[in-house]
Structure 1
Amino acid sequence: MTKINAFTYQPLTIPSHTESVSKQNQKPNAQKSSFSESLEEEYEKLPLKLSKHARERIDERDIHISQTEWNLIHSKMQEAKKMGINDSLVLTKDAALVVNMPNQTVITAMGLEEANTRIFSNINGTIVINH
């Protein structure tokens, strides 16, 4: 025991089960890492790339686009690229995406409700997918 300014302090005892406690504390991180890895694997399956910004927006805004829709978006992007379109707005039934054709990359994403009040600039084409 140590006395400091009239207060008595006693060192804390370290429980004998610290190893099991530290393992328990690692489980949520392991699950989080596992979830992040799973999400990353899903993004890797897409026929086009997502910028970091677009990934964050899709996650934040809880936007869900099926693999079939991603394939259709990619297909339409190929058509638009042949027409000379470099940057495009892609409208689906649930989302608005800004894409860069030369890099085959989704730059940003938002839900349709949010997109209703926006002005999109620096695009030279629009792709409408209404499934």
Structure 2
Amino acid sequence: MEIRNLSTVRELRLQHEGYRQKEEKADFGALYDKEIQRTGLQFSKHAAMRMSERGVELTSKLAVDLKEAVDKARDKGAKDVVVIGSSSAFIVNVTNNTVVTTMNAQEMKNNIFTNIDSAVLL
């Protein structure tokens, strides 16, 4: 009887962890979808992964600033642009409205941006 109860407790704990993880993912997914709808920008899987790894936080203000920068670059005929802020940089394919990759301030110091035709400073 004790083993069965232990097993049941373990199963309930695993179920609870699964539900909690789903809720956290849903919250992030909902916020991400909201920003995409609001700004029209999309993030490639690679860019989303780099943001997570590099600790780049996408705030509502940054999302709006990024969208405005991409719109300005589009107006000037840019196809691939680097948008440089004080603490992060984003490489964006203007044609597809897609952020291709991102990096934090430390990585910007030691990198060369290639395959871009324009730059926008935030």
Q: Same fold (TM over 0.5)?
A: yes
Q: Which structure has more helix as a fraction of its residues?
A: 2
Q: Give the drift of 1:16.
A: 2.1
For residues 105 and 33 of structure 1, the distance between their equivalents in structure 2, rounded to whole angstroms, comes to 26
Please give the TM-score of this superposition, normalised by the length of structure 1. 0.82
Q: Return the letter of the residue paired with 2:77.
A: G
Amino acid at match of 1:36: K
Q: 1:75 Cα deviation (Å)?
A: 1.3
Confirm or deny that 1:39 pairs with 2:32. Answer: no
- 1:15 is matched with 3
Q: Deviations over 1:17-65 (max 9, x none)?
A: 2333201122222212221121111111221101101111111111113
Aligned residues: 117
Poorly superposed stretches of 4+, deviation over 6 Å? none
Deviation at 1:99, TM superposition (A): 0.4
- 8 Å contact kept, 2:43–2:100: yes
Where does structure 2 lack aligned partners over 5 or more consecutive residues?
Answer: none
Task: Output the CA distance in 2 between the equivalents of 1:113 and 1:32.
Answer: 31
* C-alpha contact 2:84 2:121 (8 A) present in aligned 1: yes
Query: What is the TM-score of this pair, normalised by structure 2?
Result: 0.88
Following the alignment from structure 1 to structure 2, what is the Cα–Cα distance between the partners of residues 14 and 87?
63
Name the CA distance, whole Å, in 1 between partners of 2:11 and 2:47.
35
1:76 aligns with one of 52, 57, 69 = 69
Is it true that 1:106 corresponds to 2:95 in the alignment? no
- Does residue 29 of structure 1 match 2:18? yes
Larger radius of gyration: 1
Answer 1 or 2: higher relative contact order, Cα 8 Å, separation at least 6: 2
Structure 1, gaps ≥5 residues long: 1-12
Query: What secondary structure is seen at the aligned counterpart in 2 of 1:120?
Result: coil
Structure 1, residues 59-112: CA drift from partner, whole Å, max 9, x if none? 111111320121111012112111110000011111011001011111001101
